Amino acid sequence: MKLNSRPFLTTQAPSKLSSFHHHRSKMSEYREIPKFTVDLSQPPEARYDHIVPHFKTAVDSCDLPSLFYTLLDELVGKFAGKIMAAVSPLIMRRVHSKEENAELVGISKAIGIPMHILVAFNVLLDLLLGCTSGGARTLDPDSGGKATTMLHFRTLNWGMHQLRNIIVELDFVCTPGGPVIATTIGYLGYIGVLTGVRQGMSLSLNFRPYHAAETLRQRLSYRYNQAMVVLGYRQSISSSLREILLGDSTIPERQSDEAHETDNVGPDLQNQYVQHLLTKLSTSNSTAAYLILCQPDRVFVIEKDHRSASIRESDTFLTAYNHDVKDEDNPAHLQQAAAELAEGDDATGMADLVAYSLERKHDLDELWRKRVRACKRRYKLRNDVVTRADVIKFLQNDMIRNEETHYAVIMDPKEGKVTWRRAYEYVSESEGGSTEEN
């Protein structure tokens, strides 16, 4: 296996990991996430015209071009980054999907940012996201412990703190004033799906720090796929998730309005569709990542490599962070990956997020077991369940939510809704220190 952080990459002298672990208690204040509706019946170029004006000041403060150059330095090194920055207007001209490309053209015009910057934003961002995701079976306290369902929880963590200003929640409809078919939470100008839900299913994407690279063929194939995504000849993995979330012709529930509105799709058909998705996601060409798919009764974690994957599932509790399952028995490989990520400036903060991925899992597993025991005592239950309030506490744990957390979300795949969300302001070390002293 090989590191997946620097796709085209360089070697530099290792530097010391920063003090993420010691400063994780510095908590930022949360704020509500702005919410808008995107009408898919509108021309793609015009779908975001009503949203962009609300973010004009925020976009200016983000300085996306500057972030783009920082990302290039992070991914390929400063020397190669300068070369790529010079040629990017010529090579980063489009994304693979015609519909998504048209949306980006409209956003580019409305927001006044060059197209190649938005293309880079969309094809590079999913390479650098440190996250905690998972599913937990929860009960409705009002039901006396009889009714349960899976909730999908997720934090999105990384550096690039300027992007916190353009976090947005989007409800997608097919007609003006029509029912919401899906909801996503991400960044304005990012049209793939990092976090999303529709009735019957929720999805999230986590960064994976390495990929299969035992042979020259594997290494070349992986780099070739990355190049094809950057050039717009292949679909990015977040675009694939968008296709799953918003596509209608291949999704059983949406083959008729009646089926969608009355939720008459049987569990067998739902399960067939999910198995089809798991097979498709597992075998398709893509960057390495962890994909989390949650149904009302089950959660799946796909440990995705370029052309293969391993799949875990549970009907009670299952999580994904930024490490492989085998790292839990032998963490040396993960620590090596974190050390390599720590080379250079590590502007995205991924080194710390990878280094403490196992610790996040340990903390959350222990918290889950504790809350399961409490629920069994309180509700006289035999099954492993927690409450929705417990899931919120998971996301507020000071190891899960830290100074790198941009937002935290809880999704209900049964209802097809985001039921809880928070965006967090950035707290610098000096601000955090003064806060702690007070």
Cα–Cα distance for residue pair 438/436, rounded to 1 Å? 5
For residue 257, what pLDDT is reported?
Answer: 45
Tokens of 152: 């999908």
For residue 316, what pLDDT is reported?
Answer: 97
Q: Is 37 exposed, middle or buried (0-12, 13-18, 19+ CB in 10 A)?
A: middle
Cα–Cα distance for residue pair 206/219, rounded to 1 Å? 21
Contact between 170 and 349 (Cβ < 8 Å): no
Q: How many CA atoms lie within 13 A of 163 on its CB side?
A: 26
Count other Cβ atoms within 10 Å, centred on residue 23: 16
Task: Provide the b/e sequence for 174-190 (b: ≥16 CB within 10 Å).
Answer: beeeeebbbbbbbbbbb
Residue type, 429: E
The parts of the chain modelled with pLDDT lower than 70 are 1-28, 126-130, 141-142, 144-145, 211-213, 248-266, 337-338, 340-353, 428-438
For residue 213, what pLDDT is reported?
Answer: 62
| pLDDT digit string, tens, across residues 370-393 | 999 999 998 888 899 999 999 999
For residue 26, what pLDDT is reported?
Answer: 52
Query: What are the backbone angles phi and psi of residue 321, rounded to the nearest 5°?
Result: -130, -120
For residue 346, what pLDDT is reported?
Answer: 52
Cα–Cα distance for residue pair 361/76, rounded to 1 Å? 30
Spell out the domains of the chain, with CATH numbers in brackets.
2-12+30-41+128-437 (3.60.60)
Tokens of 366: 């222990």
Shortest CA distance to 384 belongs to which of 363, 370, 364? Answer: 370
β-bridge pairing 35-39 and 167-173? parallel
Count other Cβ atoms within 10 Å, centred on residue 384: 18
